[in-house]
């Protein structure tokens, strides 16, 4: 019987270091590993032969693994064979890693198994994948959105320092970039309105976890209030949609966000457009151009959401989970789908929240997004620079790049609307020094 901690630790180490495997179990495990290895190679080989019958199967092709002889011999001639052999070893390691990556990316085994595994993990076991958290009632949430509202404050010094340590080239603090943009526009007599779009778990936390059913306020990042106070103290005009979205979902059952997508529904776009149009009209800007009249048409769209697509489910399950929405498409005076007007006095810089229902490639229809609905409500044309990702800098960088190339998108503008997803405050690169 053990009596001392030292004896208990000694026995534990002995047991860990002496795993007993019987001969039948050992043979079974070895045979299973060989069957799996040979079967996987055979599966890949058959797939390669079917894809390109006249070519040697790439899974069995070792020619990509050795280093390039000309490079190695050149290094040997200058630095000697010891350095050349070190370089050869490094190149072989890189080539093996590339070979493994290429197999993973086009593996028929992975293509066959991943959809079923994801279905079991998310639908049956309630687990998550690398990018998607399943919520309640079939709702899906984008992992960075959940981490934004539940994670540490994005303005906390420790958080800012950690991001800089991970990537010294990133600018994690959003305040300086917004001040720089405001100052550049102000110098040209242009007003700025900043619109950080609230995320789905901010407005619908109860669709993510049951314990949020009795929530009395939206879920925000702990630094969001401090950020709002800081930028408003600098005189930057912020339209925070969060409180209005929260109130609207309490009194109306019409969802403001798509069930299987990160973005808002047409109802969410309508609400944001109403709020933003009211705010712009309150600025009492001196418009030079005449108002313009637009008409509308009702359209239907059905699509798989982006979070649903990230799950990579079997096609039948994905098709059943697709959503249908009713769009209000905006038409110009000639009856054609609304298009941005480079001569307009308002420029919208936006991300995928502005592109959804506008960019055909997203699969949710066209001429029915935030820019179009805002143009309809204001009765004025709008110019737009919209890019799906990296709302913290992509459109600002595009604006500056076009000016350097001789195309000044700010010429004749009276107002710039800068829209981005709130998550960018925590994960975006807020680089400065852009020549607007």
Q: What is the DSSP string of 3-41?
A: -SHHHHHHHHHHHHH-----HHHHHHHHHHHHHHHHHHH
Can you state the angle between helices 266-282 and 370-378, rounded to 10 degrees?
Answer: 40
Can you state the angle between helices 81-105 and 69-79, rounded to 10 degrees?
Answer: 150
The CA–CA distances, whole Å, from 434 to 226, 274, 408, 410 equal 25, 31, 14, 14
Distance CA 59, CA 61 (A): 6
Distance CA 435, CA 426 (A): 24
Distance CA 175, CA 235 (A): 12
Contacts for 238 with CB less than 8 Å, ≥ 6 apart: 193, 194, 195, 196, 228, 231, 232
pLDDT in tens, the chain (436 residues): 445 656 666 666 555 555 666 777 777 777 777 766 666 666 666 666 676 776 766 666 666 667 777 777 776 777 787 877 887 778 777 777 776 666 655 655 555 555 555 555 555 555 556 678 888 888 999 999 999 999 999 999 999 999 999 999 999 999 999 999 999 999 999 999 999 999 999 999 999 988 888 888 999 999 999 999 999 999 999 999 999 999 999 998 899 999 999 999 999 999 999 999 999 999 999 999 899 999 999 999 999 888 888 777 666 666 777 899 999 999 998 999 999 999 999 999 999 999 999 999 999 999 999 999 999 999 999 999 999 988 899 999 999 999 889 899 999 999 999 999 999 999 999 999 998 8
Domain extent listing, the chain? 42-106, 133-427
Residue 148, Cβ density class (10 Å: 0-12 exposed, 13-18 middle, ≥19 buried): buried
Total-model pTM: 0.76
């Amino acid at each position: 019987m053990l009596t001392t901690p030292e004896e208990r630790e000694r026995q534990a180490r002995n047991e860990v270091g002496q795993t007993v495997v019987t001969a039948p179990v050992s043979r079974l495990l070895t045979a299973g590993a060989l069957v799996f290895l040979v079967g996987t190679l055979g599966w890949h080989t058959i797939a390669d032969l079917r894809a390109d019958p006249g070519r040697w199967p790439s899974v069995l092709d070792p020619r990509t693994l050795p280093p390039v002889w000309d490079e190695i011999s050149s290094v040997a001639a200058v630095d000697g064979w010891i350095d050349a052999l070190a370089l050869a070893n490094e190149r072989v390691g890189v080539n093996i890693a590339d070979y493994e990556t290429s197999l993973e990316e086009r593996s028929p085994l992975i293509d066959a198994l991943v959809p079923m595994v994801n279905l079991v993990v998310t639908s049956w076991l309630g687990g998550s994948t690398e990018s998607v958290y399943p919520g309640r009632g079939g709702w899906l949430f984008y992992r960075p959105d959940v981490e934004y509202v539940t994670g540490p404050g994005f303005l906390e010094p420790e958080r800012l320092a950690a991001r800089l340590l991970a990537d010294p080239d990133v600018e994690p603090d959003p305040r300086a970039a917004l001040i720089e943009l405001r100052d550049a526009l102000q110098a040209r007599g242009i007003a700025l309105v900043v619109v950080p779009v609230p995320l789905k778990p901010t407005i619908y936390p109860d669709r993510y976890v049951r314990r949020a059913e009795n929530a009395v306020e939206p879920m925000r990042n702990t630094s969001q209030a401090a950020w709002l106070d800081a930028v408003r103290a600098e005189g930057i005009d912020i339209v925070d949609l969060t409180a209005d979205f929260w109130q609207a979902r309490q009194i109306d059952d019409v969802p403001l966000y798509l069930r299987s997508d990160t973005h808002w529904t047409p109802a969410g776009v309508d609400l944001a457009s109403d709020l933003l149009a009211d705010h712009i009209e309150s600025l009492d800007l001196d418009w030079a151009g005449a108002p313009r009249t637009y008409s509308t048409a009702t359209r239907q769209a059905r699509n798989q959401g982006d979070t649903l697509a990230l799950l990579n489910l079997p096609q039948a399950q994905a098709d059943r989970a697709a959503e249908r929405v009713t769009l209000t498409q905006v038409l110009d005076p000639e009856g054609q789908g609304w298009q941005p007007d480079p001569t307009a006095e308002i420029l919208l810089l936006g991300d995928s929240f502005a592109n959804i229902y506008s960019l055909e490639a997203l699969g949710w229809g066209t001429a029915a997004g935030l820019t179009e609905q805002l143009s309809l409500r204001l009765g004025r044309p709008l110019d737009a620079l919209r890019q799906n990702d990296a709302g913290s800098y992509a459109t600002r960088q595009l604006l500056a790049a076009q000016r350097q190339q001789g195309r000044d998108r700010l010429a004749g503008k009276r107002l710039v609307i800068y829209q981005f997803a709130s998550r960018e405050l925590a994960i975006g690169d807020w680089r400065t020094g852009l020549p607007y």
